[in-house]
Structure 1
């Protein structure tokens, strides 16, 4: 497929907000990262100054895999927005605990209070134990995505239409008017690697997040997604997960990666892998996120090591351009020591990426 990104918009950057304890690796390696509010307010200001475009809060209801403590995503997102002026925050929502009525009002209010800087990430759900713990029904794999699609359809309808009426299997509205509506319709993100996830994104989502992968692996998903979106008359952008280890030499960066893996909490990694892979096997095609993940991959929740943003700033910048060539619009990043490494990424890697993009644009213009 033709590379749609080579000379178009600059690739964007987002980071995982550590509003859940334990950081972004299932490892006992020391991390200078904290889940508390003060740490995160400072972090989001660092990220904004560094040139990040988005921050993504996590949604968890139960402890596990090192995540013993969790701040609620929407309230935490609002606190981060109050600490910044430009960066957008993506709040995770989970159908079941939320319904479109509550979500529409929450997000519309936050949008008005923060100059339209709120977005959502709709998480269809992969952890059955969490749903059971909070008394929510656990639907079959494709039914979860069918509910999510209705959720997005209803949410966007509430935000944009007067006297909104909708008749779905999960949500129903009759002449509903939300006022005030958001001045700008918030962006809607979603994740997943199954067929149902991509098909839903190709119909209704603004953004599709995929787990970490090689450029070739990303390209295969993007080609499938974009072909289906085009057939639906829809456009969707793509974000890929990555864990960044930037050091002066590649040897140093690889040593850090090995240390993370050597200190992995083996029982927690195996338990996470068991639940995550079961969720994917429940799909009709028997695959989804984490289907081909090894023990080492699973030490990072989102297969972020696979994306290989591990090395020197020059190497990482080149690899980000390769992901862009594969159809990626956004890199969703995690780090070991968030505050200092986000600052380092902004100082040493984003300028290199922009320089590479500018050089490419000049070559294209001259051709």
Structure 2
């Protein structure tokens, strides 16, 4: 029996029968994935995260992936500056949910693998087998300098990640072991409890370089990446699957990220997109992050720069899901048909926009056969986008209500 079969038999939602799996990205940081100054009711606090997670539980989403962040990037929005740490976040959310799979996103250089393995096992007990680990090395120098270190040279960083992961896997599976490597020396390594999941917590990674993809292929269950086109999506999926099988005789799946602007009409959707991206986009923080990534926009055409920056501001460069419910559903169906296992979604205002998505896009995905219908209570809500959520109407007030309950007789 393969590792994936074991996950599936254990009832792990990341390996259920849905062809297109859905999660959300970054509800633990301010602005989530949108570099904008547009008004929003979204706050990266515990109360809001509980509402989002429980809403996802009812709608049948598979997972939540938080962003690991220790400080903001600056600019007027101080993008992602207000943030909840991901291990403690996952532990708290696990206690108030029932089905959703949760991930800890962990900067490996900031935490010892013994501490990380113990915390994951503890959360696995709390969640009854619903915790996974997203491994990242960190690329924001100011964050790592807070810990008294510097950003590692790229290839050395993945050597560190490899040894870190080997220690964690031994802690989860072995009784008493010694380890002496380049970065860690452990005598009589031991841990109880072990994770309750079989065969272990799900591992994910988004390394895009050759060492990064090799690390993902060797250790993880899902490789995350951004989409450029449906053709590229298929090529990337085939490449990482072949790499994992040929080099390590392992299975691996792919996952991507998308931002959503879904409205009753296409005009409303694009009007709001133009508002929060082009009128209210935080250009200062966008410039800061582009410099951190060494993105040279000066050598590109004006048209390329405009499209790139718009997509970056809209949702960290994720795949654009802008339009009516039918148009958004069609784009999601194409992701599934390209062979990608699923996508993490982000919204400018989760509590305002997710209910509309759940009621209007999810049924279309079920009708198309890429998701299995979830048993739901009959809805008695009519979704009305107000204020900035209905920018096409020219209203400049903050979004107030996501839904108005109709009288039961209507």
2:368 paired residue number: 356
Query: What is the CA–CA distance in structure 2 between the aligned matches of 1:215 and 1:36, rounded to whole Å?
Result: 35
**Deviations along 1:220-246, whole A, 9 cap, x unmatched?**
222221110110201111110100111
Q: What SS does the aligned partner of 1:61 have?
A: coil
Shift of 1:359: 10
How much has 1:163 moved relative to structure 2? 2.6
Kept after mapping to 2: 8 A contact 1:50/1:343 = no
The 3-state SS of whatever aligns with 2:201 is coil
Pair 1:115–1:292, CA change in 2 (3 A) = farther
Q: CA deviation at 1:10?
A: 2.3
Q: Show the counterpart of 2:271.
A: 255
Q: Which residue of 1 aligns with 2:294?
A: 277
CA distance in structure 1 between the aligned counterparts of 2:167 and 2:316, rounded to whole angstroms: 28
Contact 1:293-1:303 within 8 A present in 2 as well = no
TM-score of the pair, normalised by structure 1 = 0.86
CA offset at residue 277 of structure 1?
Answer: 3.4
Aligned residues: 340
Give the 3-state SS of the residue equivalent to 1:299 in structure 2.
Answer: helix
Query: Do the aligned partners of residues 180 and 310 (structure 1) sit closer, same or farther apart at CA in structure 2, a change above 3 Å counting?
Result: same
Q: 2:11 is matched with which residue?
A: none
* Cα separation, 1, equivalents of 2:180 and 2:243: 25
Compute the RMSD of aligned alpha carbons.
2.3
The offset of 1:164, in angstroms, is 3.3
The 1:166/1:19 distance shift into structure 2, 3 A limit, reads same
Residues 31-66 of structure 1: CA deviation (Å, up to 9, x unaligned) = 221111111111111111122111112211112242
2:303 paired with 1:294:
no
1:320 matched to 2:332? The reply is yes
Alignment correspondent of 1:329: 341
Counterpart in the other structure of 1:282: none
Shift, 1:301, TM fit: 5.0
Alpha-carbon distance between aligned partners in 1 of 2:275 and 2:84, rounded to the nearest angstrom: 28
Deviates more, 1:109-118 or 1:210-219: 210-219
Which position in structure 2 is the counterpart of 1:15? 24
Partner of 1:154: 167
My pick for the range that moved more, 102-111 or 125-134, is 125-134
1:341–1:56 CA distance, 2 compared to 1 (3 A)? same
Describe the shift of the 1:327–1:19 C-alpha distance in structure 2 as closer, same or farther (beyond 3 A).
same
Please name the residue that 1:285 is paired with.
none
Shift of 1:19: 1.4
Quote the offset at 1:313 in angstroms.
1.5
Unmatched 5+ stretches in structure 1: 1-7, 280-290, 361-367
Counterpart for residue 109 of structure 1: 122
Q: 1:10 is paired with a residue of what secondary structure?
A: coil
With normalisation by structure 2, the TM-score equals 0.78
Structure 2 residue aligned with 1:265, among 282, 294, 304?
Answer: 282
Matching residue within 27, 35, 42 for 1:33: 42
Distance 2:352 2:177 in 1: 47
Instruction: Provide the rounded CA distance (Å) in 2 between the counterparts of 1:71 and 1:84.
Output: 18
1:208 matched to which residue of 2?
223
For 1:28 and 1:177, locate their aligned partners in 2 and report how far apart those are by CA, in whole Å.
48
Cα offset for 1:175? 3.8
Is this contact kept in 2: 1:211–1:302, CA < 8 A? no
Q: Identify unmatched segments of 5+ residues in structure 2.
A: 1-16, 297-304, 373-410
Compute the displacement of 1:172 (Å): 3.6
